[in-house]
Amino acid sequence: MKKSIFKEGKKYTFSVEMNNPTEEIVGEFGYSFSYEVINLPQSTDYNIADIKKLQETYYQIIPKISLNSEIAKRAFLIAPILTEIAKNTDSKINVEYTIEVDDKLSGSLDYLIRSNQELLVIEAKKGDLVLVVGRVSYVAM
Protein backbone atom coordinates (compact mmCIF):
# COMPACT_ATOMS: atom_id res chain seq x y z
CA MET A 1 0.00 0.00 0.00
CA LYS A 2 1.24 3.48 -0.89
CA LYS A 3 2.29 5.66 2.05
CA SER A 4 0.02 8.66 2.65
CA ILE A 5 1.44 12.13 2.07
CA PHE A 6 -0.51 13.31 5.13
CA LYS A 7 0.89 12.86 8.61
CA GLU A 8 -1.33 10.77 10.84
CA GLY A 9 -3.34 12.81 13.33
CA LYS A 10 -2.51 16.14 11.66
CA LYS A 11 -5.29 18.30 10.22
CA TYR A 12 -4.58 20.40 7.13
CA THR A 13 -6.27 23.52 5.82
CA PHE A 14 -6.61 24.90 2.30
CA SER A 15 -4.25 27.71 3.21
CA VAL A 16 -1.35 25.35 3.93
CA GLU A 17 0.94 25.06 0.96
CA MET A 18 2.16 21.53 0.47
CA ASN A 19 5.15 20.75 -1.70
CA ASN A 20 3.50 17.68 -3.18
CA PRO A 21 2.10 17.83 -6.72
CA THR A 22 -1.61 18.60 -6.95
CA GLU A 23 -2.21 15.16 -8.45
CA GLU A 24 -0.90 13.49 -5.28
CA ILE A 25 -2.90 15.70 -2.94
CA VAL A 26 -6.25 15.18 -4.67
CA GLY A 27 -5.41 11.49 -5.16
CA GLU A 28 -5.40 11.13 -1.36
CA PHE A 29 -9.13 11.92 -1.45
CA GLY A 30 -9.92 9.63 -4.38
CA TYR A 31 -10.04 12.36 -7.02
CA SER A 32 -7.96 13.09 -10.08
CA PHE A 33 -6.66 16.41 -11.42
CA SER A 34 -6.29 17.71 -14.95
CA TYR A 35 -5.97 20.98 -16.82
CA GLU A 36 -8.76 21.50 -19.29
CA VAL A 37 -10.24 24.28 -21.36
CA ILE A 38 -13.71 24.94 -20.00
CA ASN A 39 -16.63 26.56 -21.73
CA LEU A 40 -18.62 28.53 -19.20
CA PRO A 41 -22.29 29.27 -19.87
CA GLN A 42 -22.78 32.53 -21.73
CA SER A 43 -25.71 34.88 -21.63
CA THR A 44 -26.94 37.72 -23.78
CA ASP A 45 -29.32 38.85 -21.06
CA TYR A 46 -27.15 41.50 -19.39
CA ASN A 47 -26.66 45.23 -19.43
CA ILE A 48 -23.74 45.98 -21.74
CA ALA A 49 -23.31 49.40 -20.10
CA ASP A 50 -22.53 47.67 -16.77
CA ILE A 51 -19.89 45.51 -18.47
CA LYS A 52 -18.32 48.51 -20.23
CA LYS A 53 -18.23 50.47 -16.95
CA LEU A 54 -16.52 47.58 -15.16
CA GLN A 55 -14.03 47.21 -18.01
CA GLU A 56 -13.22 50.94 -18.00
CA THR A 57 -12.76 50.88 -14.23
CA TYR A 58 -10.27 48.00 -14.53
CA TYR A 59 -8.29 49.78 -17.24
CA GLN A 60 -8.11 52.97 -15.15
CA ILE A 61 -7.62 51.59 -11.65
CA ILE A 62 -5.75 48.26 -11.87
CA PRO A 63 -2.47 49.79 -13.14
CA LYS A 64 -2.49 52.00 -10.02
CA ILE A 65 -2.91 49.15 -7.52
CA SER A 66 -0.33 46.67 -6.28
CA LEU A 67 -1.92 43.23 -6.60
CA ASN A 68 0.73 41.24 -4.78
CA SER A 69 -1.51 39.79 -2.08
CA GLU A 70 -4.59 37.61 -1.85
CA ILE A 71 -6.56 40.40 -0.15
CA ALA A 72 -5.76 42.88 -2.93
CA LYS A 73 -6.82 40.42 -5.64
CA ARG A 74 -10.04 39.64 -3.82
CA ALA A 75 -10.95 43.29 -3.25
CA PHE A 76 -9.97 44.80 -6.58
CA LEU A 77 -10.18 41.98 -9.15
CA ILE A 78 -12.74 39.47 -7.98
CA ALA A 79 -15.30 41.36 -5.86
CA PRO A 80 -16.33 43.84 -8.60
CA ILE A 81 -16.96 40.99 -11.05
CA LEU A 82 -18.93 39.01 -8.47
CA THR A 83 -21.03 42.09 -7.75
CA GLU A 84 -22.01 42.16 -11.43
CA ILE A 85 -22.72 38.43 -11.39
CA ALA A 86 -24.99 38.86 -8.37
CA LYS A 87 -26.84 41.73 -10.08
CA ASN A 88 -27.36 39.83 -13.33
CA THR A 89 -27.94 36.19 -12.35
CA ASP A 90 -30.02 34.04 -10.07
CA SER A 91 -27.08 32.81 -8.02
CA LYS A 92 -25.99 32.76 -4.41
CA ILE A 93 -22.49 33.99 -3.56
CA ASN A 94 -20.89 32.80 -0.34
CA VAL A 95 -17.76 34.59 0.90
CA GLU A 96 -15.31 32.72 3.15
CA TYR A 97 -17.39 29.54 2.86
CA THR A 98 -16.25 27.05 5.49
CA ILE A 99 -15.91 23.47 4.34
CA GLU A 100 -14.72 20.30 6.06
CA VAL A 101 -13.74 17.60 3.61
CA ASP A 102 -12.82 15.00 6.20
CA ASP A 103 -10.80 14.61 9.40
CA LYS A 104 -7.61 15.56 7.50
CA LEU A 105 -8.70 18.59 5.46
CA SER A 106 -10.81 21.63 6.17
CA GLY A 107 -10.75 25.36 5.58
CA SER A 108 -12.64 28.11 3.87
CA LEU A 109 -13.14 28.87 0.19
CA ASP A 110 -12.76 32.52 -0.79
CA TYR A 111 -15.94 32.42 -2.87
CA LEU A 112 -18.51 29.72 -3.54
CA ILE A 113 -21.12 30.58 -6.15
CA ARG A 114 -24.14 28.34 -6.64
CA SER A 115 -26.77 28.53 -9.33
CA ASN A 116 -29.16 25.65 -10.02
CA GLN A 117 -26.80 22.68 -10.49
CA GLU A 118 -23.71 24.70 -11.37
CA LEU A 119 -20.97 25.28 -8.84
CA LEU A 120 -18.10 27.74 -9.10
CA VAL A 121 -15.28 28.05 -6.59
CA ILE A 122 -12.85 30.96 -6.75
CA GLU A 123 -9.66 31.06 -4.73
CA ALA A 124 -7.41 34.12 -4.83
CA LYS A 125 -3.87 33.06 -4.06
CA LYS A 126 -0.81 35.24 -3.87
CA GLY A 127 0.58 33.82 -7.10
CA ASP A 128 -2.47 33.10 -9.23
CA LEU A 129 -6.22 32.96 -9.24
CA VAL A 130 -7.58 29.46 -9.03
CA LEU A 131 -10.92 28.68 -10.63
CA VAL A 132 -12.71 25.41 -10.08
CA VAL A 133 -15.88 24.68 -12.00
CA GLY A 134 -18.06 21.64 -11.61
CA ARG A 135 -21.54 20.36 -11.08
CA VAL A 136 -22.96 19.98 -7.59
CA SER A 137 -23.69 16.33 -8.30
CA TYR A 138 -19.95 15.73 -8.78
CA VAL A 139 -18.87 17.56 -5.65
CA ALA A 140 -19.07 15.85 -2.27
CA MET A 141 -19.74 18.37 0.46
Domain contains 48 = yes
For residue 88, what are the contacts with CB-CB under 8 A and spacing of at least 6?
43, 45, 46, 47, 50
Per-residue confidence (pLDDT) for residue 75, from 0 to 100: 86
Could you give the CA distance from residue 11 to residue 42 in angstroms, rounded to a whole number? 39
Per-residue confidence (pLDDT) for residue 126, from 0 to 100: 53
**Nearest Cα to 108, choosing from 16, 10, 5?**
16
Number of domains in the chain: 1
Q: State the pTM of this model.
A: 0.61
Domain contains 2 = no
**Tens-place pLDDT, residues 74-119:** 888 888 888 888 887 778 888 888 888 777 777 788 888 887 766 6
Per-residue confidence (pLDDT) for residue 127, from 0 to 100: 53
Q: What is the extent of the structural domain holding 59?
A: 12-138
Domain contains 6 = no
Domain contains 68 = yes
Helix (H, G, I), strand (E, B) or coil at 55: helix
Could you give the CA distance from residue 85 to residue 79 in angstroms, rounded to a whole number? 10
Residues in a beta bridge with 123: 130
**Tens-place pLDDT, residues 22-54:** 788 778 878 888 877 777 667 777 788 888 888
Per-residue confidence (pLDDT) for residue 134, from 0 to 100: 39
Domain contains 4 = no
pLDDT exceeds 70 at position 135: no
Torsion sign across C-alpha atoms 39, 40, 46, 49: negative
